[in-house]
Structure 1
Amino acid sequence: MVERFLSIGADVKKHLLEIIRDINYGKLEGTYNVVVATIKVLKEIINSTEWTTAKELIEVITLSGKYLIEAIPLEASIGNMVRRILQIIREEYRSELKNKPQETNPQESLHKILTSNGDQVIDFNIKVPTLKSALIEHINEFEVEIETCSENVIEQASEHIHTNEIIMTLGRSKLVEEFFKKASETRAFEVIVAEGAPFLSGHEMVGNLSKSKIKTTLISDVAIFAMMSRVNKVIIGINAVMADGGLKAISGAHAVAQAAKHYSVPVMVLMPLYKLSPLYHCAWKQDTFNKHIAPIQGVIDGANASLMTKIQSYNPVFDYVPSELVTLFITNTGGNAPSYIYRLLKELYDTADYEL
């Protein structure tokens, strides 16, 4: 397997290193942009790497994916795309094998291959000359699907936002912002935006919504619980969704969800399916789930920086929100309850690829 990874062309390795560098240095931001870059480099591997069977290709993609995931463990979308491409390879292999005349490979029972359960009894070593072209075509279609994911989520805005409702959100999510703007074309409603300290991205959110003539109120994070009793629903964006339906969202999301539960306010999450991860959040995996920034950034001002020698402070970027605090996931394929997440995972990924 290592030899096949080493056989990857220099250009592809360069692209892998460029993704890692751009993400680490902040040149490549946003889950969508990371997803597009990951798919691009994986497609380049399929095109330029020497492989003859699906098994060899799966090994190369798996090793490349491991390399990216270990270098950037906090970007769950990278692992999601690696697993999705592996699923596409398996699907296309089975499809092409089914269409392949059985007499070309008399030693294999085609019926046994196609009706077997699991990859353990499927032989991925059979050469299928048309596999590469079929894969590229399928991945191109997948890229188009990724491009329209956000649009399909936004188009559902009028189904979930009604006239005269008061909606709360936290910080700024570009997808949530566009969701509100789309709903405002046919509905009149009010938005309460928690500022999302210490990053204070809610200030930008309020400014953008106000420009679109949406009645918007900015509140401090400490006022979330007090204002929740007036709210009809909460709509937030997320960084990733775990296999149990738990959320990886910006810091403060857990407080919002807890307050919503207290007042029986529904919590809706905008989730393009490329943000759905087949992994679980574990307490001992904090290093691959969360990241911390310097507390002095927005928490302790420069005048009191000397206090840092006497106290220990943490400034996490993300919160984990358990699935029981979520009411509905609004995906590009429609609305889904947290209990349906397992079904979405089964459709998107192969169980053999959950742990790369």
Structure 2
Amino acid sequence: MFSRHFLSLFFCGLVVQFDAYLMDGSGGTQVKKHDAGGGMSEKARLKAERRAKQEKERALKQAKKAEKEGETKIKAQNVRISSNVQADDPKIRKKTAKKLEREQIPKRAEGPKKVGLFSHLHQYQRGISMTKELGLGSTKIHPSILRLGLQYAEGVISGSNARCAALINAMKEVVLDYQTPPDKELSRDLESKIKPCITFLNQCRPLSVSMQNAIKFIKAQISSSKSELSDVEAKHKLCESFDNYVEVNIHLAGEAISKFARQTIKNDDVVLIYGGSSLINRVLIDAHNAGCNFRVVVVDGRPRLSGIGALQKLTKAGISCSYTLVSGVTYLLPEITKVMYGAHGLLSNGYVIGAVGTSLVSLAAQSLNIPVIVCCETYKFCERVQTDSIVNNEIGDPLDLLADDGSYDPMLISKESWNELENLKVLHLTYDVTPPDLIATVVTDLGMIPCTSVPVVLRLKNLELDTS
């Protein structure tokens, strides 16, 4: 009797404990999910920490990817530069030949006589036709680009501003005649269509700093065009941005520079200018029209003799002018009060790229403590670094330095006699670089700045592009 009662109590206790275990397990789960204080459970906390770690790793991976893309862009830019300044490298030449063949662009033949010190640069001659091997209808190059390239090669269009404005106008015609294929987007397909055009222009004549910056702007505008726009709206917007680029960076910038620069010109000044610059001509004519009485000495150099055009424009405006070649500049410097000239571009290290001879004039002026004023638009600033005229330059046609047959000057070598002299080589450099120590100030559309402020201006321009 006692044993039976004890066993019944024992089994009842087991059942109660088993039920409590089951209830405690289910209830414990509920308690773990929702604590009494409303806080996060251990499992949810671990999940949140794991998610935060994944987000951190993803952000780190994206940062590394962006850094790698930036390095790739810089490397690609260095490759483009090296293709222009490593013409004697077999690997670069082979890569360039493949690119030209892929884009169906004929390679411009090199000159027969190259100076050994400058063999890393391309030396072209105008006597070799660029369009001889281009068939009608078989080329990817737009007719406006063909015409523009030939004008560059023949020297019909020269000067940084004129070359940039002509490029923008030609690209407008390319955009207006473009038709987007049914299975492609304008922002991607149009950029691939303009690459052969740029390559062809580079074959005709190496791109100037102003053209390189304009091409960057064109590509950025094309890649940022919205896909929801129709072709007509997208092309209209692109052409409007191209016109705005020319208006802001050339016309309005020239107006601002003229306003700042004519403040430096005083009565009875004798201003020396070198060569011909449309910007300098505008500054001097505006200063004369404002009532300032001064005199101009135009110094010129062969073979372009671009100062003759500047002399004609200034004398036509009523400015008293004198003219001499660069060989006589030291005789005129004692009466000069300031030197002014335009620039092809400003480098990141403060060096000024100008027509060959500007460095010589600046050095001679600095020896007599004559201030040298450079006028340059900020869209000509570039991030390249250069300290001499040898590493990167443009070699012009050597025949320009030679005399035609029957020349009045017996000291000049004729073109026919030059071909007969195998050991005689002619070097025709287009640009030189002037160190910032020789420049007093740079007049830009932002105001008067020292040469060392170029990186600051470039940083501000990059910020404007990123925010826009």
- State TM-score, norm by structure 1: 0.71
Per-residue deviation, 1:159: 1.6
Tell me how far apart the structure 1 counterparts of residues 190 and 155 of structure 2 sit (CA, whole Å). Answer: 31
What's 2:381 paired with?
A: 276
Give yes or no for contact 2:394–2:429 (8 Å, CA) kept in 1. no
Tell me how far apart the structure 1 counterparts of residues 275 and 139 of structure 2 sit (CA, whole Å). Answer: 41
Q: Percent identity, aligned pairs only?
A: 19
Tell me how far apart the structure 2 counterparts of residues 296 and 44 of structure 1 sit (CA, whole Å). Answer: 38
1:1-356 residue pairs with structure 2 within 5 A? Answer: 13-47=142-176, 48-50=178-180, 51-52=184-185, 54=187, 57-61=190-194, 64-89=197-222, 127-129=227-229, 132=234, 134-145=237-248, 146-185=250-289, 186-281=291-386, 285-286=391-392, 288-294=393-399, 295-297=401-403, 303-304=410-411, 305=413, 308=418, 309=421, 311-348=424-461
Alignment-mate amino acid for residue 276 of structure 2? R
Tell me how far apart the structure 2 counterparts of residues 291 and 172 of structure 1 sit (CA, whole Å). Answer: 17
Specify whether residues 27 and 283 from structure 1 end up closer, same or farther in structure 2 by C-alpha distance, changes over 3 A only: closer
Specify whether residues 312 and 11 from structure 1 end up closer, same or farther in structure 2 by C-alpha distance, changes over 3 A only: closer
Alignment-mate amino acid for residue 332 of structure 2? M
Q: Deviations over 1:92-120 (max 9, x none)?
A: 56xx7xxxxxxxxxxxxxxxxxxxxxxxx
Per-residue deviation, 1:267: 1.5
Per-residue deviation, 1:17: 2.0
Per-residue deviation, 1:168: 1.2
- Secondary structure of 1:245's counterpart equals coil
Specify whether residues 76 and 56 from structure 1 end up closer, same or farther in structure 2 by C-alpha distance, changes over 3 A only: same
Tell me how far apart the structure 2 counterparts of residues 247 and 271 of structure 1 sit (CA, whole Å). Answer: 10
Give yes or no for contact 1:61–1:82 (8 Å, CA) kept in 2. no
Give yes or no for contact 1:168–1:192 (8 Å, CA) kept in 2. yes
Q: Deviations over 1:263-303 (max 9, x none)?
A: 232221222344334434476654x53324333249x8653
Tell me how far apart the structure 2 counterparts of residues 39 and 224 of structure 1 sit (CA, whole Å). Answer: 37
Higher RCO structure, 1 or 2 (CA under 8 Å, sep 6+): 1
What's 2:130 paired with?
A: none
Superposition RMSD in Å? 3.9
Specify whether residues 212 and 137 from structure 1 end up closer, same or farther in structure 2 by C-alpha distance, changes over 3 A only: closer
Alignment-mate amino acid for residue 41 of structure 1? A
- Secondary structure of 1:213's counterpart equals coil
What's 2:92 paired with?
A: none
- Secondary structure of 1:81's counterpart equals helix
Tell me how far apart the structure 2 counterparts of residues 313 and 261 of structure 1 sit (CA, whole Å). Answer: 30
- Secondary structure of 1:155's counterpart equals helix
Give yes or no for contact 2:395–2:428 (8 Å, CA) kept in 1. no
Give yes or no for contact 2:351–2:434 (8 Å, CA) kept in 1. yes
Per-residue deviation, 1:234: 0.9
Per-residue deviation, 1:46: 4.4
- Secondary structure of 2:185's counterpart equals coil
Per-residue deviation, 1:257: 0.8
Alignment-mate amino acid for residue 23 of structure 1? Y
Tell me how far apart the structure 2 counterparts of residues 191 and 224 of structure 1 sit (CA, whole Å). Answer: 13
- Secondary structure of 1:15's counterpart equals helix
| Equivalences, count | 314
- State TM-score, norm by structure 2: 0.56
Q: Deviations over 1:10-40 (max 9, x none)?
A: 7862222222122213343443332223213
Q: Where in structure 1 are there 5+ consecutive unaligned residues?
A: 97-126
Alignment-mate amino acid for residue 319 of structure 1? D
Per-residue deviation, 1:343: 3.0
Give yes or no for contact 2:103–2:140 (8 Å, CA) kept in 1. no
Specify whether residues 140 and 200 from structure 1 end up closer, same or farther in structure 2 by C-alpha distance, changes over 3 A only: closer
Tell me how far apart the structure 1 counterparts of residues 220 and 383 of structure 2 sit (CA, whole Å). Answer: 13
Tell me how far apart the structure 2 counterparts of residues 343 and 137 of structure 1 sit (CA, whole Å). Answer: 28
Alignment-mate amino acid for residue 410 of structure 2? A
Give yes or no for contact 2:389–2:432 (8 Å, CA) kept in 1. no
Give yes or no for contact 1:12–1:41 (8 Å, CA) kept in 2. no
Per-residue deviation, 1:45: 4.4
- Secondary structure of 1:78's counterpart equals helix
Max radius of gyration: which structure?
2
Specify whether residues 247 and 341 from structure 1 end up closer, same or farther in structure 2 by C-alpha distance, changes over 3 A only: same
- Secondary structure of 2:280's counterpart equals helix
Specify whether residues 200 and 180 from structure 1 end up closer, same or farther in structure 2 by C-alpha distance, changes over 3 A only: same
